[in-house]
Amino acid sequence: MTEPLFSEDEEFDRPRLAAHGPVRVRVPAKINLHLHVGPVRSDGFHELTTVYHAIGLYDEITARRGDTLTLTMEGEGTGELSLGEDNLVMRAVRALAAETGHDAHARLHLKKQIPIAAGLAGGSADAAAALVACDQLWGTGLSRDDLAVIAATLGSDIPFLVLGGTALGTGRGELVSPILTGGHTWHWVLAVAEEGLSTPVVYRAFDELGGHTSAGPPDGLMAALRQRNPEVLANELANDLQAAALHLRPELQQVLDAGLDAGALAGMISGSGPTCVFLAEDARHAALIAADLEESRCCRAVRTAVGPVPGARVL
Ligand code: C5P
């Protein structure tokens, strides 16, 4: 069921020379097809068993040579997101520089389509993109596995965003192994909420509600992915954080109901929320569900996306 993280060709083709022109990297959002939350560990993180799935909703980072480290942005979250040293992108670049001995010099520009604090790992995606972009800009020539090791020090979801596809995540989510899905494409509809939810707040609510888990091992999901039948997959989607997200934001239940009323095969909260994600039969079905959701005006924005797609890649 698992395969090597990256094909030999991909590793072999990677340039080892610094780039002179701008380096553009595209990175996807993620959803969790299965999210089992275990006990809190001594480091404060929860033990997870999750199935990550990268979907075709993208951020883009362009890295150019510079004498210092700067970050600018446009799109989702502009004006709300700090562009200072606390931004995950800046922390990722500093971590790569420290690891490789390179000066942390780059001019970075982020084009953001992935909504912030949405349960789609947008910030983690940007950190993954920054690692891949500066690796290429500086010609540091790290392997994807090396980048994933640095990524793991920065956040639980970031190694997956370097990898992409569909993958099993364990530990606090940072230990990822790819899952073979046989090249099948799944069709998703996302209902983006007006206001974000903080991931630590949702985990805290999960604990306060008793830490109940409904998601068992993801064996049924793995089998459903191999069967390539969306109706089978619909019965296997599971998210232990859903009850906590709904507790904090009860009105999300109306969004879930609206998606199901529109004919979605299944609906769930994405990760820690508040984005609701719906499974469709195919592209046409996804477009119909999206149109119905838009008409219902139950959310800020509606997007369709396919998955799985690759992780952070140079364009
Ligand atoms: O790893 P990351 O920085 O993305 O995690 C954000 C927050 O989510 C953590 O500070 C923690 O509160 C919570 N979390 C957790 N257990 C995990 C992953 C995240 O409690 N496995």
Q: Is the CB of 303 under 6 A from ligand 1?
A: no
pTM: 0.95
| pLDDT tier for residue 12 given thresholds of 50, 70 and 90 | very low
pLDDT in tens, 108-120: 999 999 999 999 9
Catalytic residues, by residue number, are 30, 157
Radius of gyration for the alpha carbons in the chain, expressed in angstroms and rounded = 19
Q: Is the CB of 100 under 6 A from ligand 1?
A: no
Q: Residue 7: is its pLDDT beyond 70?
A: no
The Cα 136–Cα 63 span in angstroms is 9
Percent of residues, the chain, with pLDDT higher than 90: 90
pLDDT in tens, 52-95: 999 999 999 999 999 999 999 999 999 999 999 999 999 999 99
Tell me how far the alpha carbon of residue 120 lies from the centroid of ligand 1, in angstroms: 14
DSSP state of 120: S
Contact indicator for 245, 252 with CB cutoff of 8 Å: yes
* CB-based contacts of 91, cutoff 8 Å, min separation 6: 85, 127, 154
pLDDT in tens, 121-174: 999 999 999 999 999 999 999 999 999 999 999 999 999 999 999 999 999 999
| Residue nearest atom 11 of ligand 1, based on CA coordinates | 200
Tell me how far the alpha carbon of residue 82 lies from the centroid of ligand 1, in angstroms: 19
pLDDT number for residue 279: 99
Closest ligand 1 atom to the C-alpha of 172? 21
Q: Is the CB of 45 under 6 A from ligand 1?
A: yes
- Binding residues for ATP, by number, are 115-125
Average pLDDT in the chain: 94
The Cα 87–Cα 262 span in angstroms is 38
Contact indicator for 229, 221 with CB cutoff of 8 Å: no
Q: Is the CB of 50 under 6 A from ligand 1?
A: no
Closest ligand 1 atom to the C-alpha of 46? 16
Tell me how far the alpha carbon of residue 252 lies from the centroid of ligand 1, in angstroms: 22
